[in-house]
Amino acid sequence: MLFYKYQKPGNLEFSMLRRGEVYFASVGELNDASECRPRFILKGSEELWQRLAQFVLEHACICSGYFQPDKADEIREIVGLSDAIGRQLKKNARNRDFGVEDLNSAFLKALKLCGAEKLQPALLRTAEHLASSFIEQGLPRALLDEKYIASFALNATNPTMWGHYADAERGFVRVFGTDDGKVTVCSDLNILHGTRPSKMGIGIIEVGTYKDERLELKEVKYGRKLPKVNAFHRLIHQFSYTEEENHYDVPLQIGGDAEQKKEHLIGLVKHSDWRHEKEVRAFFPAYESLLPDVRTLRISLENIKGLVFGPKMSSENRARAVLSCHLMKQARCSEMGTECEFSFFEAQQAVDRFNFAIRPVGILAGHYFGRRLPLKPIRELDDTTVARLHATADQIAGRKQPSSC
């Protein structure tokens, strides 16, 4: 299939074109304030509720810095209520999807009930204040799961996209292709988490960090409801465990006590008003916070197919685009054993409708001589190549199903 990236004609975009790169944006850098926002619920066993109560009370008392070191006895008294509070929370939640937004009031009610006879009134009030503050402020941070996303479109002729992302038709669209729904990315650093066949034997898989990885392109769904996520799966690895529990892999085992919801849809559901984007996404394969400097990855030449000039793209910017593509191919000519054709097209406004026609322009030439751009125009190409370019233009225009080139 073919997939696309709309770009404005800026220095940063030409630099990324010249290097064959795409940027993986953090959630906060995306243009939709609701990106990757799930509907958090809590649904799990009594043990999970008890560990959640312990997690809240430990962070409320210890991590808040409120208690001095000589108040260890008071902290133990408060944290010692965890099991009783967890039982009460499970009784309240029963087996329904319990919204995280209701946890504060339910937790305070359980804390007051369980601590009325075991804590001094002043200590109970302190515990209530600290627990409420952590649930309202600290718990949302604990539930964060940073994602880094590269966005592409399945449509290269949408007027709204040309307007929003390609500087009102003055930019361009990069054309990519894949035979198996995956794209190969490369970094100069070993920061891409993945798997490889192990040298230890047939059928053995190793897990590690590498300089290259094959990323699956995932199609975005559009609707009006947020994906539901069981918050226990975000918290289990943050709960406290004894050395013996860690030895017997309790953190891995108790995950089965929490019903899976739609965790796999985080970052893949957007409001229906974005439906026109027809978006597919690749996720940076990392499980840690990353600075922007390392989130720009090179796309393999086997996935880079061409470029579409915008209807209002200036002659100067067209020349910059052609030269950028030429420099990219020259810098990476040893990447593949066989040469992969790079094609140029232009989008043309239709006379009686808002969509665009796609016209083939030519292919990238192998040499650059002075003022002559490294672009071989379609009039100089053989009939077979011309037919192939017209077929690809039809695919880009949506008149045929995409296929590999």
In this predicted structure, what is the pLDDT of residue 405? Answer: 37
- Do residues 117 and 91 both lie within one domain? yes
Q: Would you give the DSSP letter of residue 138?
A: I
Indicate whether 339 and 321 sit together in one domain: yes
Residue 404: pLDDT band by 50, 70, 90 thresholds? very low
| Confidence tier at 114 by pLDDT (50, 70, 90) | very high
Q: Which of 254, 287, 283, 277 is nearest to 145 (CA)?
A: 287
Whether pLDDT at 337 is above 70: no
Mean pLDDT (the chain) is 91
Residue 193 maps to a domain: yes
With cut-offs at 50, 70 and 90, classify the pLDDT of residue 157.
very high
Q: What is the pLDDT of residue 248?
A: 85
In a domain, 152, yes or no: yes
Query: Is the CB of residue 401 less than 8 Å from the CB of residue 154?
Result: no
Least confidently predicted of 74-78, 201-205, 240-244: 201-205
The Cα 314–Cα 215 span in angstroms is: 34
Residue 243 in domain: no
Alpha carbon 20 to its chain centroid, in Å, reads 20
Q: Which residues contact 216 (CB under 8 A, 6 or more apart)?
A: 181, 182, 282
pLDDT band at 400 (very low <50, low <70, confident <90, very high): low
Residues 219 and 123 in one domain: no
Q: Is the pLDDT of residue 67 over 90?
A: no
Does the structure show a pLDDT above 70 at 306? Answer: yes
Say whether both 77 and 198 belong to one domain: no
Instruction: In whole angstroms, give the CA distance from residue 79 to residue 53.
Output: 8
- Convert the pLDDT of each residue in 212-267 to its tens digit: 999 999 999 999 999 999 999 999 999 999 999 888 888 888 988 888 888 889 99
pLDDT at 199 over 50: yes
Last residue of a domain, one of 142, 168, 196: 142
Do 280 and 167 fall within a single domain? yes
State the total domains in the chain. Answer: 2
The pLDDT confidence band at residue 334, using thresholds 50, 70 and 90, is low
The residues with which 362 forms a beta bridge, in sequence order, are 344, 377
Task: Tell me, yes or no, whether 106 and 188 share the same domain.
Answer: no
For the stretch 312-315, contacts whose Cβ atoms lie closer than 8 Å and that sit 24 or more positions apart, written own/partner, are: 312/168, 312/169, 312/170, 313/9, 313/169, 313/170, 313/171, 313/172, 313/346, 314/9, 314/170
d(CA 178, CA 17): 18
Structural domain includes residue 238: no
Residues 213 and 151 reside in one and the same domain: yes
Rg over CA atoms, the chain: 28
Torsions phi, psi for 291 (to 5 deg) = -70, 155
Q: Which of 88, 113, 142 is the last residue of a domain?
A: 142
Boundary (domain end) residue, out of 101, 123, 142: 142
CB 400 within 8 A of CB 390: no
State the alpha helices, DSSP H only, in 152-241: 159-165, 232-235
Q: Which of 89-103, 226-240, 325-339 shows the lowest per-residue confidence on average (mean pLDDT)?
A: 325-339
11 in the same domain as 59: no
Q: Is the pLDDT of residue 336 over 60?
A: no
Q: Band the pLDDT of 380: cuts 50, 70, 90.
A: very high
> Quick one: 201 and 311 in the same domain?
yes
Asked if the model's pLDDT at residue 282 lies above 50, the reply is yes
The proportion of the chain whose per-residue pLDDT surpasses 70, expressed as a percent, equals 96
* pLDDT at residue 247, rounded to an integer: 84
pLDDT of residue 130: 95
- Looking at the fold, whether 14 and 163 belong to one and the same domain comes out as yes
Is 137's pLDDT higher than 70?
yes
- Residue 195 pLDDT more than 90? no
Give the phi and the psi of residue 210 in degrees, each rounded to 5: -135, 175
Q: Is residue 246 part of a domain?
A: no
Task: Compare 350 and 24 and report the one with higher pLDDT.
Answer: 24
Residue whose pair of structure tokens reads 């430990």 in the numeric block: 58
Highest mean pLDDT among 213-222, 328-337, 394-403: 213-222
Q: Which two tokens stand for residue 76?
A: 């133990």
Residues 173 and 193 both lie in one domain: yes
Average pLDDT over every residue of 307-329 = 96
Range of the domain at 335: 2-35+146-223+266-396
By the 8 A CB rule, do 131 and 57 touch? yes
Greater model confidence, 369 or 177: 177
Query: According to the model, what pLDDT value does residue 223 have?
Result: 93
Euclidean distance between CA atoms 119 and 113, whole angstroms: 11
Q: Would you state the pLDDT for residue 215?
A: 97
363 backbone dihedrals φ, ψ, rounded to 5°: -125, 160
Q: Quick one: 88 and 19 in the same domain?
A: no
